[in-house]
Amino acid sequence: MAPLIRVGLIGLSSSAKTSWASSAHLPYLLSPTGSAKFEIVALLNSSVDAAKSAIVHYKLPASTRAYGNPDDLAADPDVDLVVCNTRVDKHHETIRPSVAAGKLVYSEWPLTQDVEHTKDLYNLAKEKGTLHKTVVGVQGGVTTLAEKLREVLAEGRIGKVLSVEVISSGGVNDRDTLPTYLSYFTERKIGGNPFTIGFAHLFDFVQSVNGDVSSIKSTVQLQRPLNKIIDKATGEVVETKQSDVPDLIHVQGKLADSPNTAKDATINFRFRKGQPFPGDWETVWTVVGEKGELRVTSPGAALQVASNSDQIAIKLHDFAKSGELEEIKWKFDDWQLELPVPARNVGKVYEAIAKGGGYPTFELALKRHEQLQEILGDWKA
């Protein structure tokens, strides 16, 4: 049996209003599947006391080491894998020492708040020769849903892809309100918002199936610059904040040539913050081929955290069979079904780490950050 991979978690908080670490990472790591491969040995929080509090709160072993400084975690010889779940603008400063130390580092997406900080981490890992030891949490490409779609395309069921269209709404639950703990979604400088998270995750997911997008032409708009900030406990509006984050994104481009994609195939992508028109799917993704079409419909935009396989449907229209639609079945692995929804595809990333490859790296993260910058161009609110 291979030795356990020893994990140092950054950002597992006992007091945070939202915690991706506790809802998506911890359930996998503590599950029978995860604990057979990984062991949590250290926590890094804003202070040693905060880390100690989280150790007690989540009933981790008393031997778990508590850190309040990124350099101390990076220097721990008993930590093999560092996993970052802080707010986006803290990613760079908390993981850079571990990248410099040559550790295996897994950071949630967005990797950093902008291209410059992302490029710094990428260059550092490249200089160290450790790009293969970097992981970023754009988990769409490793999902069973993406695997099934790639399989259908590779089989030539619709012939070569001619075009792709995606129409989606989401990113947050409402078009012009935010809970207090997400009020920073109105500030581009923080790096975490519906554009860099909601849109970007879906944009990455689509590219993981249909190929990278180039020759990007885009139009972005801020339709609702004022956002009401709601206290979820009382339902009251505590303030109104001016946003500088676009809430409507249109992207057109070309798909990379591949054995499954025709030359000069195109993509048309529209993402709108908030709810869809009542009764509509939140996401409709259509892949038009020479011999047929694939359509994915979902009640949510976050396909990378797909709720379950009976809500996200894949249907195939073979043009030779006029009007007939075939439902393409897909399902989670059995071990995924034992986990809460957010942990299922995060667990797939960990499974790839345990196998030593097949996960998205900082190289992909830099490419996606550069695409986001290209989409925005010189746009300002």
What is the pLDDT at residue 236?
95
Domain end, chosen from 304, 328, 352, is at: 328
Residues 323 and 352 in one domain: no
Asked if 57 and 173 sit in the same domain, the reply is no
> Is residue 286 within 8 Å of residue 171, measured between CB atoms?
no
Whole-number percent of the chain with pLDDT over 90: 92
Taking a C-beta distance cutoff of 8 angstroms, is the pair 282, 169 a contact? yes
Tokens found for residue 52: 């100690």
Whether residue 15 is predicted with pLDDT greater than 80 in this model: the reply is: no
Same domain (yes/no): 365, 268:
no
Residue with tokens 């603008």: 89
Given a cut of 70, is residue 307 above it in pLDDT?
no
pLDDT at residue number 324: 87
Same domain, yes or no, for 107 and 192?
Answer: no
Domain of 269, in residue numbers: 144-328
pLDDT of residue 16: 67
Q: What is the dihedral of CA 343, 149, 134, 115, to 10 degrees?
A: -100
Q: Is the predicted pLDDT of residue 334 greater than 80, yes or no? A: yes
Spatial neighbors of 233 by CB under 8 A, at least 6 apart, are none
**Average pLDDT value over all residues in the chain:** 95
Distance of CA 237 to the CA centre of its chain: 29
Q: Which two tokens stand for residue 274?
A: 């908030």
Q: What is the pLDDT of residues 80-94, one digit of tens each?
A: 999 999 999 999 999
CATH of the domain at 62: 3.40.50.720
Q: Provide the pLDDT for residue 365.
A: 98
- Mean pLDDT for the stretch of residues 253-270: 96
User: How far, in Å, CA of 202 to CA of 211, rounded?
Assistant: 13
Has residue 74 got a pLDDT over 90?
yes
Whether residue 293 sits in one domain with residue 158: yes
- Tell me the mean pLDDT in the region 211-236: 96
Statement to judge: residues 249 and 340 lie in one domain: no
Per-residue CA distances from 143 to 321, 327, 351, 368 (Å)? 30, 19, 11, 18
Q: Please give the average per-residue pLDDT across 177-200, as a whole number.
A: 96
Length of the chain: 381
Cα–Cα distance measured from residue 381 to residue 370, given in angstroms and rounded to the nearest whole number: 20
Q: Which of 288, 310, 328 is the last residue of a domain?
A: 328
Nearest to 300, CA basis, from 205, 228, 193: 205
pLDDT of residue 308: 65
Q: Stretch 244-265: mean pLDDT, rounded?
A: 97
Give yes or no: residues 124 and 197 share one domain.
no
Supply the pLDDT for residue 323.
80
Q: What is the pLDDT of residue 17?
A: 60
pLDDT of residue 18: 64
State the Cα–Cα distance between residues 301 and 311, nearest whole angstrom.
Answer: 12
Put the strands of the sheet holding 283-289 in their side by side order: 213-221, 248-255, 261-273, 161-170, 283-289, 292-298, 313-318, 325-328
- Same domain flag for 181 and 291: yes
Say yes or no to pLDDT of 211 above 80: yes
**Strand, coil or helix: 175:** coil
- The per-residue pLDDT for 310 is 72
Q: Are 283 and 168 in contact (CB under 8 A)?
A: yes
- For 108-136, write each residue's pLDDT tens digit: 999 999 999 999 999 999 999 999 999 99
Mean pLDDT within 350-364:
97
Q: What is the number of structural domains in the chain?
A: 2
Residue 2 has pLDDT above 90, yes or no: no
Rounded Cα–Cα distance for residues 220 and 376 (Å):
7
Residues 94 and 75 in one domain: yes
Tell me, yes or no, whether 169 and 222 share the same domain.
Answer: yes
Please indicate, yes or no, whether residues 173 and 272 belong to a single structural domain of this protein: yes
Q: Which residue has the tokens 């990076």?
A: 74
* Cα-based angle 134, 130, 359 (whole degrees, multiple of 5): 30
> Model-level pTM?
0.96
Q: Is the peptide bond before 225 cis (omega within 30 degrees of 0)?
A: no
Residue 166 and residue 275 share a domain:
yes
| pLDDT for position 201 | 97
**Per-residue pLDDT tens digits for 18-54:** 689 999 999 999 999 999 999 999 999 999 999 999 9
Strand pairing class (313-318; 292-298): antiparallel
CATH number at residue 324: 3.30.360.10
